[in-house]
Amino acid sequence: MQAPATTKEFEDTPLSPQRQAVIAAARDSICQRGMKKTTMLALAADMALSRQTLYRTFDNRDELLAIIYVREFDDAVSQALAPTLRDKAFAEAVADSVVLAIGLVDDNPILNDMMLGSGAPWFQSHILDRRSLLHGKLMALGKRLWQEPLAQARQKQQLNPALSDEEIVEWLLTNHYLTLVRPKETRAHHIAMLRKLVIPALLNAFE
């Protein structure tokens, strides 16, 4: 896997009050005008800041948007997903987590606009780029969410031993995204294909 283009840590770290304020203003802007029109220039005007001050707070717009998306996704999805990952067998947890994520993204206006609305071109280009901050932060979040289910499945020898945890998390991340961006009428078919093709590839053939 290629190394990320940034040296920043992907794990969540405490944010300064100024960074928190910019994140809050950007979230409001996404809700009001959409992600596409949430530019650094618009945010500077909203907050009565100079662009120089804003760029001292965040290196660039991509960094700001990546942090917003992952924090929003973590808040909306992680807690709701925990019982599924804890209580279901690995194969069922994979399928059920996709169904759950679809509903949660549909119900969250920020996630919906960033992934499927005005921000869709940005999101697609960054989530599929292993060098991007968004991809790296989502991988870190996925590893955290799936750490225990993967450990338990490996202990039970349920997983394909040729695949690393990182490869499995990336498979899950990619398939969640592909399921979410397909039209609603195809999701049942997509999940059926997930059960038929993707999940068996992750499992130990001798399990």
Instruction: Express each pLDDT in 129-140 by its tens digit.
Output: 999 999 999 999
CATH of the domain at 18: 1.10.10
Query: Do residues 194 and 179 lie in contact, with contact meaning Cβ atoms separated by under 8 Å?
Result: yes
The residues near 182 (Cβ < 8 Å, ≥ 6 apart) are 190
Q: Are residues 130 and 184 in the same domain?
A: yes
Q: Are residues 160 and 72 in the same domain?
A: yes
Find the mean pLDDT for residues 68-80: 91
Residue 44 domain-assigned (yes or no): yes
Q: What is the pLDDT of residue 181?
A: 79
Q: Are residues 128 and 27 in the same domain?
A: no
**How far is residue 166's CA from residue 136's CA, in Å, rounded to a whole number?**
11
Q: What is the pLDDT of residue 148?
A: 92
**How far is residue 32's CA from residue 203's CA, in Å, rounded to a whole number?**
44
**How far is residue 141's CA from residue 101's CA, in Å, rounded to a whole number?**
14
Residue 188 domain-assigned (yes or no): yes
The residues near 111 (Cβ < 8 Å, ≥ 6 apart) are 69, 72, 73, 76, 104, 105
Q: Are residues 47 and 111 in the same domain?
A: no
- Which DSSP state fits 204? -
The helix (run of H) or strand (run of E) holding residue 64 is helix 61-73
SS3 203: strand
Cβ neighbours around 137 below 10 Å, total: 24
Q: Are residues 95 and 145 in the same domain?
A: yes
Tokens 């909203």, residue? 46
Residue 8 domain-assigned (yes or no): no
Q: Are residues 23 and 104 in the same domain?
A: no
Residue 86 domain-assigned (yes or no): yes
Q: Are residues 48 and 117 in the same domain?
A: no
Residue 38 domain-assigned (yes or no): yes
Q: Are residues 82 and 133 in the same domain?
A: yes
Residue 5 domain-assigned (yes or no): no
The helix (run of H) or strand (run of E) holding residue 9 is none
Structural domains in the chain (count): 2
Q: Are residues 71 and 39 in the same domain?
A: no
Q: Are residues 19 and 74 in the same domain?
A: no
The residues near 168 (Cβ < 8 Å, ≥ 6 apart) are 146, 150, 159, 202
Encoding tokens for residue 6?
A: 């940034």
> Which has the minimum average pLDDT: 33-42, 51-60, 91-100?
91-100
Question: Confidence class of residue 125 from pLDDT cuts 50, 70 and 90?
Answer: very high
Q: Are residues 93 and 184 in the same domain?
A: yes
Q: Are residues 82 and 52 in the same domain?
A: no
SS3 29: helix
> In which domain, by residue range, is 32 found?
14-58
Residue 9 domain-assigned (yes or no): no
Query: Do residues 100 and 84 lie in contact, with contact meaning Cβ atoms separated by under 8 Å?
Result: yes
**How far is residue 177's CA from residue 79's CA, in Å, rounded to a whole number?**
19
Residue 73 domain-assigned (yes or no): yes
pLDDT at 141 over 90: yes
Q: What is the pLDDT of residue 205?
A: 63
**How far is residue 207's CA from residue 204's CA, in Å, rounded to a whole number?**
5
